[in-house]
Amino acid sequence: MGKIVNFDLLYLCFYVISLSFAFLSQGFKRKILYCLSDLSFFIGFIIHSITFIFKWFSLSIIPSRNLGELLDTTALILVLVYFGSKLFLKNREIAFFLLPFVVLFLFGSKIFIFKTQETFAFYSSVWFPIHILLLVSGIALTIFAFIYSTIFIMQDYSLRKRKIANELMLPSIETAGRLGKNYLITGFVFLTSGLFTAIYYGIAMKGENPDYHPGLLEVGTFLSWLTLGISSFGFIRSSMKPKKRVMLLMVGATLFLLIFFGLLWH
Amino acid sequence: MALSEIFLIGLNHKSAPLDIREKIAFSEDEIVPFLNEIKREGVLGGVLLSTCNRVELYIDLPSSKKPEYFLLHLLKKKNILESMRKYFYLKSGRDVVSHIFRISSGLDSMILGEPQILGQVKEAYFLAKDSGNITTTLNLLFQRAMYVAKKVRSESGIGSEPVTVSYAAFTLARTIFSDVSAKKVLLLGAGEMIRIVASHFYDEGSNNITVSNRTFERAVEFGKVFNANVIKWEDFPEEIINSDLVITSTASPLPIIKKSLLETVMKIRRWKPLLIIDIAVPRDVEKDAKDIDGLYLYDIDDLQKTADKGLEERKRRAQIGERMIDEEVALYGHFLEHRELPKLIESLVEEAHKIGEEEISSVLHKLKVQEDEEHLRRAVFRVVHKLIHSPITQLKKLVLEEERDEAMEIFERFFFNEKKESKKVEQN
């Protein structure tokens, strides 16, 4: 177990190094620093993945039994989406925005001690990892939509301020808008599927866990999903002005994440 | 040693006026025959760079040839009076290295940091290389220049800021659209200014261009330049709905595009991004329209301010580039030094042992016992070795102490001058 803790700190270290390079790469010698940032990011990702798989095998349960583990899994899926989308997109600037989320989630999972619930019977169900992976992927994709929306607002702001040169080499407004929308829709589909699988296996396994009583967590999750759903609907509605749409999405995504993780914290 | 063999003869926008540059310019077809011609005259190899702002001839010359001769040859070739040589500069050694590194990086260009020059340097290099006019030294120099240029451009970021109105407009379009070349462009007007700005978009691959002008015939004529569709003047408001980028520059004293029109257009477009570049004075678009969501409206002052700011920024970044080039020139010199030093030492060792061998041969017949020959050879070898050991050690030490040029020159004079002199006498 001691070794696992060391590995936990090791990949966190690589992510922090990567974040430092990502901040520095916005200035002089951008390319070299960016490469160093991406390299550290990738090494961190590899160690993170191996540690995650090792934990999964040793626990026989996907490591998401408490908020700390869920945050760690979310951080891993975020990085996975980043490297996965690299195959199709030129997204080097995204690391700059993504790494703070990754580091924040990991710090959150390492700093605070979370109580692990007793192993319920439904943990062993195949639906549990499906539910977790769908849910976490949905969260990760929503965070990507949030990041692209932020870029959209930043680009719009600098254009209105007559700062024509794209100093941060960010994606164009059109790209940011399109990718934000795509990530949002995909993320919402994943989230919804994640919630439905939870309902499905919850009902199916009910008999095996008599202590289980749906309560605040379930209602809150539904509310957070509804909040995101409303803002996503507003975003996709093309009759709405672009800046308002993006602002709505950002507010919706922030509320969703706050409610969701707040509930788990509670 | 090797540096002093490379010379540069040239002129540029700073040293010569346009009419002289025009006369001296080479077309692509003329370059290789000229390089072959000077090769026959004794040049070991050459690269000729001819652009609208400069004509430069890089030559690798043996010490028996003077670069001035080739300057006169160049003037004669282009039927230019000898008095015009005042417009030319002649550089050698380290200055050539520094110069080619600077120009490849765009630090010596009329538009500071422009990227086209690197492509032109590459073209000139490959032209010389493919026609067999390049030497190892020139090859090394140009390869290094291209590497340095890429490094300077990427690390100083000198080319990232727009410095002309048309480039500022294009940069703006790139910030808004993912693929500018695929966007629909509408040109309102058919004047010189709009032609300059539209050319930039056309050169970058925009091929979906529509033109509208009050005088339809002029629009038709203008449209041919960009292979554009032409529409009637009264149809342009409707055309804006389908366009992504509008460039306008008419002579109208009042705005031709009202805010109310653009509000309607944007609503129909469902606020899909629209970029309007208004380079007319007075303006063609009502200035309040810039507040409309999804619409990005820029006038000539916005673009000019960006271009001015970009130039200032490029000047600042050029200083970083200059420092990088100084470092690279020193590194390149160091590289050549270490390429030359072993050769020089090897020559000395070879020469010293040759002398020893000659002396052994001259006394061999006087030896009575055969065995003594081996002893004699060993003794001479040791003497020669001891004699040259100290100067070689000193030379290596001086090179490390950065007194390389002087040390190598003294070393060469000390050991090889007599031989060179005797060769000259033989030749004469």
Residue A240 lies in a domain: yes
Q: How many domains are there within chain A?
A: 1
CATH number listed for the domain at residues B165-304? 3.40.50.720
- Across the interface, do B273 and A242 touch by the CB < 8 Å criterion? yes
In which domain, by residue range, is A199 found?
118-265
Q: Is A167 on the interface with B (CB under 8 A)?
A: yes
- Across the interface, do A243 and B174 touch by the CB < 8 Å criterion? no
Q: What is the pLDDT of residue A66?
A: 78
Instruction: Enumerate the H helices of chain A as residue ranges.
Output: 2-24, 30-59, 67-85, 94-111, 127-160, 173-204, 216-236, 242-265
Q: Rounded distance, CA B90 to CA B99, Å?
A: 11
| pLDDT above 70 as % of chain B | 89
B96, pLDDT greater than 70: yes
Tokens representing residue A167 in the block: 């100093």
**Model pLDDT for residues A133-145, shown as the tens digit of each residue:** 998 999 999 999 9
Taking CA atoms, B247 is separated from A109, B220, B243, B274, B290, in Å, by 53, 17, 10, 11, 15
Q: Nearest by CB to A241, from B174, B271, B309: name it.
A: B271
Which chain A residues contact residue B273 at CB under 8 A?
A: 173-174, 177, 242
Which chain A residues contact residue B161 at CB under 8 A?
A: 165
Which pLDDT band holds residue B79 (cuts at 50, 70, 90)? confident
Mean pLDDT of chain A: 81
Q: What is the pLDDT of residue B368?
A: 66
A90, pLDDT greater than 90: no
Q: Rounded distance, CA B160 to CA B171, Å?
A: 9
| pLDDT above 90 as % of chain B | 34
CATH number for domain B3-160, candidates 3.30.460.30, 3.40.50.1220, 3.20.20.70, 3.10.20.30 = 3.30.460.30
Of B230-244, B361-375, B378-392, give the range with the top mean pLDDT.
B230-244
Mean predicted confidence (pLDDT) in B153-175: 82
Q: What is the pLDDT of residue B286?
A: 92
Q: What is the DSSP string of A154-186?
A: HHHHHHHTT--S-TT-PPPHHHHHHHHHHHHHH
Mean predicted confidence (pLDDT) in A123-132: 80
| pLDDT above 90 as % of chain A | 17
Burial annotation A49-75 (CB, 10 A radius, 16+ → b, else e): eebbeebeeeeebbbbbbbbbbbbbbb
Q: Rounded distance, CA A148 to CA A146, Å?
A: 6
Mean predicted confidence (pLDDT) in B349-353: 81
Which chain A residues contact residue B310 at CB under 8 A?
A: 165
Give me the interface pTM, i.e. the ipTM: 0.79
**Which of A 28-67 lie inside 8 A of B, CB atoms?**
28-32
Of A160-169, A237-246, B14-23, B337-346, give the range with the top mean pLDDT.
B14-23
Q: What is the pLDDT of residue A200?
A: 77
A29, pLDDT greater than 60: no
Which pLDDT band holds residue A33 (cuts at 50, 70, 90)? confident
Tokens representing residue B412 in the block: 């060469």
Of A61-65, B135-139, B346-350, B372-376, give the range with the top mean pLDDT.
B135-139
Dihedral pair phi/psi, residue B344, rounded to 5°:
-65, -45
Q: Enumerate the domain spans of chain B.
A: 3-160, 165-304, 339-419
Which pLDDT band holds residue B185 (cuts at 50, 70, 90)? very high
Q: Rounded distance, CA B278 to CA B282, Å?
A: 10
Q: Nearest by CB to A241, from B178, B293, B320: name it.
A: B293
B101, pLDDT greater than 90: yes
Judging by beta carbons within 10 Å of its beta carbon (0-12, 13-18, 19+), is residue A120 exposed, middle or buried?
Answer: middle
A224, pLDDT greater than 70: yes
Give the single-character DSSP code of B26: -
Which chain A residues contact residue B177 at CB under 8 A?
A: 172-174
Q: What is the pLDDT of residue A121?
A: 60
B427, pLDDT greater than 70: no
* Least confident window among A240-244, B56-60, B117-121: A240-244
Mean predicted confidence (pLDDT) in B207-225: 90
Which chain A residues contact residue B168 at CB under 8 A?
A: 164
Q: What is the pLDDT of residue B236?
A: 93
**Model pLDDT for residues B284-323, shown as the tens digit of each residue:** 999 899 889 889 999 888 888 888 888 888 888 899 999 9
Catalytic residue among B33, B41, B52, B419: B52
A5, pLDDT greater than 80: no
Mean predicted confidence (pLDDT) in B41-67: 90
- Across the interface, do B175 and A178 touch by the CB < 8 Å criterion? no
Which pLDDT band holds residue B1 (cuts at 50, 70, 90)? very low
Q: Is A173 on the interface with B (CB under 8 A)?
A: yes
Mean pLDDT of chain B: 85
Contact of A259 with A223, CB cutoff 8 Å: yes
Q: Is B311 on the interface with A (CB under 8 A)?
A: no
Known active-site residue B52: yes
A2, pLDDT greater than 60: no
Which pLDDT band holds residue B4 (cuts at 50, 70, 90)? very low
Tokens representing residue B221 in the block: 């004529």
Tokens representing residue B298 in the block: 């820029």
B39, pLDDT greater than 60: yes
Q: Is A162 on the interface with B (CB under 8 A)?
A: yes
- Mutation for testing the B interface, residue in A32, A33, A164, A170 having most B CBs under 10 Å: A164
Residue A208 lies in a domain: yes
Taking CA atoms, B243 is separated from B197, B227, B240, B359, in Å, by 17, 17, 5, 90
Which pLDDT band holds residue A113 (cuts at 50, 70, 90)? low
- Partners of B47 in beta bridges: B58
